[in-house]
Amino acid sequence: MARAISDRPRARWVFLRGAEEVFGGEELLRSLLEAAPATILATTPAGRLLFINRLVTHTSEALEGRTIYDFTAPRHHADIRACLERVAATGEPGSYETEGESAIGEPAWYESRVAPLYRDGRIAALTIVATDVTARRAAEQRLRESDEKLRVAVAATDMGLWSWDAERDTYTWDARMLEIFGLERPPSSVAEYAALVHPDDRDRLSERVAATRGGRSFEPTEYRVRRGDGALRWVQVRGRVMGDGTEVGTKVMGGTLDVTERRARDERLRQSQKLEAVGQLTAGIAHNFNNLLMVILPNLELVPLVPPEERLALVEDARQAAERAAELVRQLVVFAGKDAPAAYVVKDVAPLVERTVAICRGTFDRQTSVEARVAGALPPVSMDAGQIEQALLNVCLNARDAMSDRAVRRLLVEVAALAARAPELGRHGVDADRAWVCIRVTDTGHGMDEATRRRLFEPFFTTKPPGKGTGLGLASVYAVLKAHGGWIDVDSTPNVGTTLALFLPAAEAGSQAVPAPAERRERAAGHHVLVVDDEPLVREVVARVLEDGGYRVSLAAGAREALEVFERTRDGFALVLLDLSMPDGSGRDVCRAMKAHRPRQPVVYFSGYPLDEASEADGVVEKPVGAEALLTAVDRALGKD
């Protein structure tokens, strides 16, 4: 087992001048052994103890004849034996770790390094330096457990982990990140990563990159990415900018979650809610129209059967029901946001409010007090005055109904300007750098509880008894204000009253309110008008109204007939009133053909659908329309208004 050492390099021990006087060999060895922060042993190559530098629980007699194996766990004996034999055979140092007994007799872990001890050029014994690593192993175990918990937690979220070194522009991805993106390696730069992002979402990524390089926080975001296999997925990305206070923004660490299925579920839920809303809307429309038709049809059927003096009342009831039906359609169109683009005009709100309040004073019960207050000068507002007036009237009517059985009935309409950066503006995230106009309508009605207030602007939601309301008044008010860039605030207390505040943005700086146009003119008779509509009853009633107004009328039932009549009428027409939707052709195509034949030909669309754009025509008349309104629209198109 012994090995010669003549061929091995020997360590050189250096004693400086004067050392011999201080150190003797034995004294130096004893001092080193006592100072060493480890257990130092000498054993035979077979492991029998020859020396140990510290004893606490054992006497020297108790250790006589014992081996190192008596103080180590049996499961480690094979590793210890192999290490000792290898050092004795090769003369090369070795090491092993084992669980054993501490100096005070408690379980402990040791990292042991083994080296040969030479005498007369041969290995006579082995020295073992055993360092207590119990605390280190416990810390490593805690770290492993923590890492495992983190791994399990991350795996449970299905999130991929990543880091980005902004200074070097390099990415590090874990396996889940590669799986989410369907790639075999991470991108090599931001540019390569951006290529994976949907073009419409790249601006969002650019904002995050700029914020990171500027040392700002990394805000969570969602965008679409194209996987390696071409599939489009939605991902949610969260991260944190790392820094030590001196070099911020150089590294970001975070996680990415595939949220494609969640967004698909959300979309299905939204579609389900839309279908539910459509069902509620359809039921409400059917209910209201059935009630109105129940007034119209029987009254018209009774007209031939009753004495002439009673017919006028029947016809008047039918007319009022028809007007209510037309108003219901208008409210539905406004609520749906499909109203034709209004010709917004910059106007002063005060006259509109005063006019609406005057209508309320003249029609409300005399026991209801109606008051208007205008606080100082108001900035002009770009608006469709008719829509705003109707919206304000709807709010006032709703307030009147809320006070119908109250002892005190007081309606107050206040108008005031809000300066830029007013506190009310901050709550709604609107442009706080411009002025706004606020119209507050306060009543002394029953007020509302929170459940009612939350549903206030739902279509067909009403607290009124059957037959007293459609449930579209406030829903259409909400839509009108939204279309104008405004909003509504509601403040209500049960048994006290309600305040609805309508906010409208002021017109751009420098805009001036324009005066209202002059009222009607004297109608010019004798002009020839072509009426094109595929519905016979519509053609007949429009022709009757125009003829009663002094116009000559020609009729066409469709697109082809309209072009035939137009081309063979040598003197032409003063105006063409043209339906847009016909079975045999588009009204727009007919209009273009007529304009190509006679460029100066006036054409007005006559449509039951709101139009987003009608630049090729000279105007639009929306169905349904009353006789006087129809004549006014025709006069205006002919320049007679």
Which 3-state string (H, E, C) describes 190-205?
HHHHHCCECHHHHHHH
pLDDT for residue 102 is more than 80: no
* 189-193, 276-280, 494-498, 534-538: least confident range: 276-280
Q: What is the mean pLDDT of residues 330-340?
A: 57
Determine the pLDDT at residue 532. 93
* 183-192, 406-415, 466-475, 560-569: least confident range: 466-475
- Alpha-carbon distance 190 to 168, whole Å? 10
pLDDT for residue 1 is more than 50: no
Determine the pLDDT at residue 485. 83
Highest average pLDDT, of 61-65, 88-92, 297-301, comes from: 88-92
pLDDT band of residue 138 (cuts 50, 70, 90) is confident
Token pair for 472: 């579209």
pLDDT for residue 342 is more than 60: no
Q: What is the mean pLDDT of residues 88-113?
A: 85
pLDDT for residue 361 is more than 70: yes
Residue 63, class by beta-carbon neighbours within 10 Å (0-12 exposed, 13-18 middle, 19+ buried)? middle
Quickly name the fold that domain 345-505 has: Heat Shock Protein 90 (3.30.565)
Determine the pLDDT at residue 192. 92
Determine the pLDDT at residue 57. 56
Task: Evaluate whether 93 touches 87 at the Cβ level (below 8 Å).
Answer: yes
Q: What is the mean pLDDT of residues 321-345?
A: 63
Task: Give the distance, in angstroms, between the CA of residue 604 and the centroid of all CA atoms in the same chain.
Answer: 41
Determine the pLDDT at residue 267. 81
Decide which of 171 and 290 is more confident.
Answer: 171
Strands 575-579 and 528-532: what pairing? parallel
Percent of the chain at pLDDT above 90?
18
The CATH code for residues 528-637 is 3.40.50.2300
Q: What is the mean pLDDT of residues 301-318?
A: 82
Decide which of 31 and 406 is more confident.
Answer: 406
pLDDT band of residue 28 (cuts 50, 70, 90) is low
Q: What is the mean pLDDT of residues 560-567?
A: 92
Determine the pLDDT at residue 193. 92
Cα distances (angstroms) measured from residue 24 to each of 13, 15, 16: 14, 11, 13
For residue range 216-247, what is the model confidence (pLDDT) as tens digits? Answer: 667 788 999 999 898 999 999 988 887 654 45
- Alpha-carbon distance 403 to 398, whole Å? 9
Determine the pLDDT at residue 460. 57
Token pair for 100: 């054993």
pLDDT band of residue 89 (cuts 50, 70, 90) is very high
Q: How many CB atoms lie within 10 A of CB 185?
A: 8
Percent of the chain at pLDDT above 70?
77
pLDDT for residue 151 is more than 60: yes
* 16-25, 108-117, 458-467: least confident range: 16-25
Q: What is the mean pLDDT of residues 527-539?
A: 89
Token pair for 568: 């063979």
Decide which of 284 and 5 is more confident.
Answer: 284
pLDDT band of residue 275 (cuts 50, 70, 90) is low
Determine the pLDDT at residue 10. 43
Q: Give the CATH H-level superfamily of domain 158-258.
A: PAS domain (3.30.450.20)
pLDDT band of residue 564 (cuts 50, 70, 90) is very high
- Alpha-carbon distance 594 to 191, whole Å? 55
Determine the pLDDT at residue 520. 38
Determine the pLDDT at residue 268. 82
For residue range 347-356, what is the model confidence (pLDDT) as tens digits? Answer: 888 888 888 8
CA-based nearest residue to 626, from 526, 548, 527, 554: 548
19-137 and 158-258 share one fold: yes
- The reply to whether omega before 624 is within 30° of 0 (cis) is yes
pLDDT band of residue 478 (cuts 50, 70, 90) is confident
Q: How many CB atoms lie within 10 A of CB 34?
A: 9
Strands 585-586 and 575-579: what pairing? unpaired
The per-residue pLDDT of the chain, averaged, comes to: 79
Q: What is the mean pLDDT of residues 488-493?
A: 87
- Alpha-carbon distance 123 to 65, whole Å? 20
Determine the pLDDT at residue 483. 82
pLDDT band of residue 585 (cuts 50, 70, 90) is confident
The CATH architecture to which 19-137 belongs is 2-Layer Sandwich (3.30)
Contacts of 143 (CB under 8 A, 6+ apart): none
Decide which of 396 and 362 is more confident.
Answer: 396
For residue range 164-221, what is the model confidence (pLDDT) as tens digits? Answer: 888 888 999 998 999 999 999 999 998 999 999 999 888 888 887 877 776 666 778 8
Residue 343 phi/psi, 5-degree rounding, is: -85, 85
Token pair for 282: 């359809």
- Alpha-carbon distance 462 to 466, whole Å? 9
pLDDT band of residue 24 (cuts 50, 70, 90) is low
Determine the pLDDT at residue 489. 86
Decide which of 576 and 457 is more confident.
Answer: 576
Q: What is the mean pLDDT of residues 275-297?
A: 67
* 184-188, 355-359, 600-604, 611-615: least confident range: 611-615
The 10 Å CB-count burial string (b at 16+, else e) for 533-569 is bbeeebbeebbebbeebebebbbbbbbebbbebbeee
User: Scanning the structure block, which residue is given the tokens 């540019």?
Assistant: 191
Domain range list for the chain: 19-137, 158-258, 270-335, 345-505, 528-637
User: Scanning the structure block, which residue is given the tokens 């007949």?
Assistant: 540
Determine the pLDDT at residue 424. 65
